[in-house]
Chain A
């Protein structure tokens, strides 16, 4: 056993905050068989995300992809979820905290409440109020269908307790309920309570307090939202008319620009504004003019630059580089005026808009600040917790971790990554608790009874403006064998499934068609959801009416509706032809393979090893450390070489880790929990078995052919520059002029994405140069300075120290020419309106990173994984599953996912380890009935399948009658169906894709739909 055992307690992990981050952390822990208590002061979970209409970069809501898993009967009972609960006191230390929890009374018995709405109709004043615009929402729940699905009574406002009590038809209202106080033992604590949003009321010049048409971005989001105050119609709060021109003003409450604003960048607002502008044009009216006033467009996340380009090019969102100084509404006018200047001309511009959206940033939540103080967590002046420069989720107090916006402003993918990372660290402190043995639902004869199909239309209205879901439901009812059909605009809500389940039971449904988004998202979810009501998981078919109708034909509603009907009809035909099948259970392998021996790979390996997994760490080169070996310090001053030395020492000495250097991946087979990978270790073949795989193969420093790089000794990359500053301080002291050029080899046609880390690295280097040589003049030529989060503070510091930042446009890039001893850099200063030539002692190019395309492609081929267009590994879901990969059991971390700074890589490493532990915690593995089977009576033993199978699975075996027939081992079969397609006797069928299913779908597809 591990030494760690000592640290582990029998307690749980306490997760404070039930937003997305808290949910993710709690789910990771529960899936890794650790007990979790998830508390939120709100009556229901979901956090900020539940108030959003849609989220970037997919422009859909996607809450439904996580929320259902918080249902109380899921996750093996490891998850204890408590609403209306706050932490009142914490005692003890890491491994043994005692926390006091107080649960405020809801005055509604959640078990009984059916959310009929009677109480709200009769006593509207008594129903607890949710934040947002007023008067709002058709229901008072924070989002359409909340978890738990029940009302909350605000007893303080109730004058007629008895009347209220009586009005409830099911007697769920308990007017005398009292707060409940409990103590719990916890090994570790994750703070995931989110952040507050900046309140711009005091900023008179933006007119937020006075002008109803000036709203914050979250309020605008509510207006767009189907569950919002206008029922999903985009209307001006002042007059209820649709706006024709909408403006966004960025950096409100961020970058130290206004009174009370944090000095940091809130990191998410640029993308948020782009999304709102795009959604406005896409969903409401493509004639609405959308303008974003910004300082730096910070689209630094994975593929975000492409999103920015889409906003500009495809959606025509107008971007104005300016800081507006006033928002006015002159008397007698019903329009707002924005006053601003642009770089090119000094004169003031006045432009009219119907609505102005203030992109308000994050700030520390006061309640959370208090809890953090109680825990003695060190905080920055702005109230956000201080975290380690190599461990963004570890606070100054051992055993207390943070994630999400509570740690600092960030977007959803980063929140999800931090949440998993926090759960990795917190989970290491508590023991695994045994999980009751999973019973697989048996295939009952009822499953195969005469088909009674239920159709669930689960597409949210706001995702399907082009679709008439009511008509779709009516159509579905008219399809033969469909016994019930209904729309559930609550795919995000597990408790709404109770209604679904009831309908299924009441109608004796034995086959289900889910009309919603892609089966890639829906199928597994509904399979799990409907198993308890006896729906065999293979008797569920998904009609992809979102991607294939609502979205792709958004512009042609008639066509979209007709197609949606056809897709539903096809799915009904398919499910009618489907057969009930049973899964198998097999023992799972609990080892891990980590590919890549850089800081990311080593960190992931150590976290896994620390939790008891045996890890194979495979590194292509002869040495551990990766690209980070070229780095000296982080911008915060963290010593990278010391970090590497420490990681190498721990990795190579850990009894659970086996390191293979000079090793390549040769072949791979199997499935999650049962992988088999062939390695070439120094040329010798070796096969390992593992249950999960983490890819941490890094990226390649870019060496573009630009600006005389490689030709002129004065021109170097930021990586080289850093080395020079570190190793030749005497040289640096001689420098008079240094020019840094940003976005070299990034954000261009060859490499359309942003490399994310270059802006901070040039500032890091500028500060280091100034430290050696305070008289050096440093120019940073940039397009958008993307110093997100706390990097912004270093940017401000550099400005204060005299670093000159000059914007250049992509149409007018700087020029670098050799000029004797120097390199002459010529650029246009837009503000001064003239060309400048600088004779530079050093030109530092921010060349960023590119994907290691060749090796990624080779690995992707062996493992069967998808890559993005620019050659990075593609995650399963850019927002909600940032480290999971499409192939179950595969996780990606670090620069192999996209370029990022060390701390972020390590966070991702921990997140990947956490996600991998959810796999490795399983002793057994459910094998899906996704295999081909042979009708032995038809088989001619012709060997076609034996020869066609890419995995050599089929064999001709002799049965007890002495007949040689093909046999396909269900455990080994990968389910591709090649054998089924080639079998000349049609003796082989692939489960879930039997010919009769495909042919009946085809029948329907090619039958005319009566629209």
Chain B
């Protein structure tokens, strides 16, 4: 899932300073799951923005709405009338949703979230990065743990000298990806795999190759 975190209120207030009728638009997909931009967070942010604006003598009119998915044009189309009645849109979707809105509507669209990473949930309320979207998945040879997303140096051939006690030298909160990979390989009896040198990565499948696109010819019209 795509994870995100709310931007500081001050930044948002700066964006919407010139406007008074706001459409605050949540997304019921990833950002709901990571507690950043679902209906609940939309409600909280609406209250917070209204109160903060009121403090400076301004009454904001905020329409709260949450789309099933903000990164699809059909869903985004649903809010046409709401957008028409708003001066600006504050989107609580990830960057994809914000852009979908911005591409569709000729109104200012501001992101309420900082889109963080593709991750999974470690436990309730904790998400960590799992995938860098490199476009050429290595997990088959790294015991199912990605060194590109989860090693601070993106090392593809083993732990650096800073790996100690299972954690990364960057911060003790982060496990050493290669430590995890090694444990997995041991568990799977595949430690020999480790001796294979993973050659230099082809970054053009990653963002290094510019904006990427997937076209399924059978589906695409």
* A contacting B, Cβ–Cβ less than 8 Å: yes
B33 touches A942 (CB 8 A): yes
Q: Which residues of A contact B66 (CB under 8 A)?
A: 985
- Docked CA distance A944–B39 (Å): 14
Chain A residues touching B, majority SS: loop
Q: How many B residues touch A, CB cutoff 8 Å?
A: 14
Given the interface contacts A940-B32, A942-B32, does A986 sit within 8 Å of B39 by beta carbon? yes
- Docked CA distance A947–B38 (Å): 18
The listed residue (A947, A948, A984) touching B40 by CB distance below 8 A is A984
- Min distance, Cβ A210 to any Cβ of chain B, angstroms: 73
A984 touches B124 (CB 8 A): no
- Point out residues on B near A: beta carbons under 8 Å: 28-29, 32-33, 35, 38-41, 43, 66, 121, 123-124
- Docked CA distance A53–B123 (Å): 59
- Min distance, Cβ B193 to any Cβ of chain A, angstroms: 33
- Docked CA distance A984–B32 (Å): 6
- Docked CA distance A942–B43 (Å): 18
- Docked CA distance A983–B42 (Å): 12
Q: What are 8 of the A-B contact pairs (CB < 8 Å)?
A: A938-B28, A940-B29, A940-B32, A943-B121, A947-B123, A947-B124, A984-B40, A985-B38
- Docked CA distance A942–B33 (Å): 5
List CB contacts (< 8 Å) of A956-1011 with chain B.
Answer: 983-987
Q: Which residues of B contact A947 (CB under 8 A)?
A: 123-124
Given the interface contacts A948-B124, A985-B38, A986-B38, does A940 sit within 8 Å of B33 by beta carbon? yes
17 additional contacts, CB 8 Å, given A940-B33, A983-B40, A984-B33? A938-B28, A938-B39, A940-B32, A943-B121, A944-B124, A947-B124, A984-B32, A984-B35, A984-B38, A984-B39, A984-B40, A984-B41, A985-B28, A985-B39, A985-B40, A985-B66, A986-B38
- Min distance, Cβ B171 to any Cβ of chain A, angstroms: 25
- Min distance, Cβ B39 to any Cβ of chain A, angstroms: 4
Chain B's closest residue to A946 (CB) is B124
- Docked CA distance A219–B32 (Å): 68
Chain A's closest residue to B42 (CB) is A986
Q: Which residues of A contact B40 (CB under 8 A)?
A: 983-986
Chain A's closest residue to B31 (CB) is A984
Q: Which residues of B contact A938 (CB under 8 A)?
A: 28, 39
Chain B's closest residue to A940 (CB) is B32
A944 touches B35 (CB 8 A): yes
Chain A's closest residue to B39 (CB) is A986
Interface centre among B32, B33, B123, by most A CB within 10 Å? Answer: B32
A985 touches B123 (CB 8 A): no
- Docked CA distance A984–B40 (Å): 5
Q: Which residues of B contact A943 (CB under 8 A)?
A: 33, 121
Q: Which 10 A-B pairs have the closest CB atoms?
A: A986-B39, A942-B33, A984-B38, A947-B124, A940-B32, A984-B35, A985-B38, A984-B40, A985-B32, A984-B32
Chain A's closest residue to B1 (CB) is A942
- Min distance, Cβ A847 to any Cβ of chain B, angstroms: 50
- Docked CA distance A160–B39 (Å): 77
Q: Which residues of A contact B28 (CB under 8 A)?
A: 938, 940, 985
- Docked CA distance A986–B40 (Å): 6
List CB contacts (< 8 Å) of A584-638 with chain B.
Answer: none
Q: Which residues of B contact A986 (CB under 8 A)?
A: 38-40, 43
Q: Which residues of A contact B35 (CB under 8 A)?
A: 944, 984
- Docked CA distance A264–B15 (Å): 84
- Point out residues on A near B: beta carbons under 8 Å: 938, 940, 942-944, 947-948, 983-987
- Docked CA distance A942–B40 (Å): 13
Chain A's closest residue to B29 (CB) is A940
Chain B's closest residue to A939 (CB) is B28
- Docked CA distance A947–B28 (Å): 19
- Docked CA distance A995–B41 (Å): 15
Q: Which residues of A contact B33 (CB under 8 A)?
A: 940, 942-944, 984
- Min distance, Cβ A573 to any Cβ of chain B, angstroms: 19
Q: Which residues of B contact A942 (CB under 8 A)?
A: 32-33
Interface centre among A940, A943, A948, by most B CB within 10 Å? Answer: A940
- Docked CA distance A762–B39 (Å): 69
- Min distance, Cβ B99 to any Cβ of chain A, angstroms: 21
Q: Which residues of B contact A983 (CB under 8 A)?
A: 40
Chain B's closest residue to A983 (CB) is B40
- Docked CA distance A84–B43 (Å): 64
Q: Which residues of A contact B32 (CB under 8 A)?
A: 940, 942, 984-985
Q: Which residues of A contact B38 (CB under 8 A)?
A: 940, 984-986
- Min distance, Cβ B51 to any Cβ of chain A, angstroms: 13
- Min distance, Cβ A176 to any Cβ of chain B, angstroms: 72
Chain A's closest residue to B66 (CB) is A985
Chain B's closest residue to A944 (CB) is B124
- Docked CA distance A947–B40 (Å): 17
- Min distance, Cβ A842 to any Cβ of chain B, angstroms: 64
Chain B's closest residue to A942 (CB) is B33
Chain A's closest residue to B26 (CB) is A985
Q: Which residues of A contact B29 (CB under 8 A)?
A: 940
- Min distance, Cβ A195 to any Cβ of chain B, angstroms: 62
Chain A's closest residue to B41 (CB) is A984
- Min distance, Cβ A1003 to any Cβ of chain B, angstroms: 13
- Docked CA distance A940–B40 (Å): 12
- Docked CA distance A984–B123 (Å): 15
- Min distance, Cβ A701 to any Cβ of chain B, angstroms: 47
Chain A's closest residue to B123 (CB) is A947
- Min distance, Cβ B157 to any Cβ of chain A, angstroms: 36
Q: Which residues of A contact B123 (CB under 8 A)?
A: 947
- Min distance, Cβ B77 to any Cβ of chain A, angstroms: 19
- Docked CA distance A948–B121 (Å): 14
- Min distance, Cβ A934 to any Cβ of chain B, angstroms: 13
Chain B's closest residue to A948 (CB) is B124
Interface centre among B39, B41, B66, B123, by most A CB within 10 Å? Answer: B39
Interface centre among A943, A983, A985, by most B CB within 10 Å? Answer: A985
Chain B's closest residue to A987 (CB) is B39
- Min distance, Cβ A444 to any Cβ of chain B, angstroms: 31
- Docked CA distance A859–B43 (Å): 40
- Docked CA distance A948–B28 (Å): 19
Q: Which residues of B contact A940 (CB under 8 A)?
A: 28-29, 32-33, 38
Chain B's closest residue to A984 (CB) is B38
- Docked CA distance A986–B35 (Å): 11
- Docked CA distance A349–B123 (Å): 78
Q: Which residues of B contact A984 (CB under 8 A)?
A: 32-33, 35, 38-41
Q: Which residues of A contact B43 (CB under 8 A)?
A: 986
- Docked CA distance A678–B26 (Å): 45
Interface centre among B40, B121, B123, by most A CB within 10 Å? Answer: B40
- Min distance, Cβ B153 to any Cβ of chain A, angstroms: 32
- Min distance, Cβ B6 to any Cβ of chain A, angstroms: 12
- Min distance, Cβ A218 to any Cβ of chain B, angstroms: 58
- Docked CA distance A983–B41 (Å): 10
- Docked CA distance A947–B43 (Å): 22
Chain B's closest residue to A941 (CB) is B33
Q: Which residues of B contact A948 (CB under 8 A)?
A: 124
- Min distance, Cβ B36 to any Cβ of chain A, angstroms: 8
- Min distance, Cβ B125 to any Cβ of chain A, angstroms: 9
Chain A's closest residue to B38 (CB) is A984
Chain A's closest residue to B36 (CB) is A984
Chain B's closest residue to A981 (CB) is B40
- Min distance, Cβ A61 to any Cβ of chain B, angstroms: 44
- Docked CA distance A947–B33 (Å): 13
- Docked CA distance A742–B29 (Å): 71
- Docked CA distance A56–B40 (Å): 48
- Min distance, Cβ B42 to any Cβ of chain A, angstroms: 9
